[in-house]
Homo-oligomer: A and B are copies of this chain.
Amino acid sequence: MKDNCIVAQSGGPTVAINASLAGVIDGVKKSDNYTRVYGAVHGIQGVLDDNLMDLSLMALSKFPMVNTLELTPAMYLGSCRYKLPDYKEDAKPYETIFKRFDDYQIAAFFYIGGNDSMDTVNKLSEYAKEIGSDTKIVGIPKTIDNDLMVTDHTPGFGSAAKYVASTMLEIAHDAYIYYIPSVVIVEIMGRDAGWLTAAASLARTDYSPAPHLIYLPEVDFDKEQFILDIQEKLKTNRTVIVAVSEGIHDKNGNYISATDAAADKFGHMQLSGTGHALECLVKEKLGIKVRSIELNVLQRCAAHIASRTDINESFALGQAAVKYAASGMTGIMAAINRISNNPYQWCIEPTDVNNVANKAKSIPPEWITKEKNDITPEMEAYLRPLIIGEVSLQYKDGLPLYLPISHLI
């Protein structure tokens, strides 16, 4: 009898991806369908390499261990960037994977990841159908980019947004102290989708209008207009703070900072230095004091300021995935459906992973102002609930107490 399951994580890290792992472990603990839950180390690669950890003890242990896991950043099981070939062209990895499923009596495989990982879920579930395997393949979303289809938003995004907004407010406090005019440019992650950059708008308070300008990759970026925008804002603001996506590009599709660009295995461009490029531009054109700040990986790993809403939702998605598999579903992803903004209400629903794999969701054009340098109140109303609530981290020796990841080091 097949009665165990495997869970794995893939793609880039977020603050909430371990909360979904904790949710799967908790779901298995509460389920009658599965005996053991294995964690594949380094994603699907861990299944291929037979690198599995028995997480059942964690499931059976007292709650605090799962609770600490829930608040630990990045990926407890490690990641991979392995892209499965089409099984009609190369069935070998599929044979290895399903052999492993047989060996370990795996009734369900849970994959926590972004749209590349949902491609893996899609391919594995199709192959399972092809060979008549009844192992259920279920996806659990995650990405700080918030660019997955169907799900209202993605686990990990809310915490990254809370980090970006809080940090932007703190940067504003830092920048306002001087009395000479200055410009601060904050570069935020999001190659093709500007959701996280837009979340910088949540930093605005009664007293602080920062960021004064927001530039997103969904619209073309015009360097001359950018300088005009800053000049306009400088008329009424001594300090102008700008939020800019790493992925902004001109009308020909060229990234503003293309010098360091290089394609990765999935054909994505690796960007860096957009903020620095704009810093040089402002210095050259306006001769004003200017600083650029790249939030870098901190926005995806600063678990000490995670969003409670995000962590709770990510945990619930992990639990739901276990229920879906136990009820016989496969080739699906657990998705968040927003019922209302105010009060904020949501539920979880399954969606065919075909609707998610290899697709990306951009910000709707109507949520971007016609000047292309800000977002609308509707978008802020969408974003705000996602950063609400704080986590209660434990600290030891002055440091956040996270679950040790010795097996990855």
Binding site for B on A (CB under 8 A): 13, 42, 45, 72-75, 78-81, 162, 165-167, 169-171, 173-174, 176-179, 202-203, 205-209, 237-239, 291, 293-294, 296-298, 300-305, 307, 384, 387-390, 395, 397-400, 402, 404-406, 408-409
Contact = CB atoms under 8 A, between A and B. Distances in A.
A205 B72 CA distance: 14
A205 B389 contact: no
6 contacts: A13-B173, A171-B297, A173-B301, A203-B399, A208-B404, A307-B398
A167 B398 contact: no
B297 A296 contact: no
A251 B405 CA distance: 39
Given A177-B74, A397-B384, A304 B170 contact: yes
Copies, count: 2
Contacts of A304: 166, 170, 304-305
B202 A165 contact: no
A257 to B, nearest CB: 13
A74 B210 CA distance: 15
A257 B165 CA distance: 31
Contacts of A170: 73-74, 298, 301-304, 400
Given A167-B298, A398-B307, A404-B207, A239 B409 contact: yes
Contact of A176 (B80, B167, B203, B409): B409
B409 A205 contact: no
A73 B405 CA distance: 33
Contact of A167 (B162, B206, B302): B302
Given A74-B174, A176-B409, 10 more contacts: A78-B177, A165-B398, A174-B301, A177-B408, A202-B397, A291-B296, A298-B298, A305-B305, A387-B397, A388-B398
A207 B166 contact: no
Given A293-B296, A397-B384, A398-B165, A176 B405 contact: yes
Contacts of A298: 167, 170-171, 293, 298
A206 B404 contact: yes
Contacts of A207: 404-406, 409
Contacts of A238: 409
Given A293-B297, A301-B173, A409-B239, A178 B398 contact: no
A165 B399 CA distance: 7
Contacts of A408: 176-177
Given A296-B293, A395-B390, A179 B402 contact: no
Contacts of A395: 390
Contacts of A75: 177
B13 A174 contact: yes
Contacts of A165: 398-399
A174 B301 CA distance: 6
B384 A174 contact: no
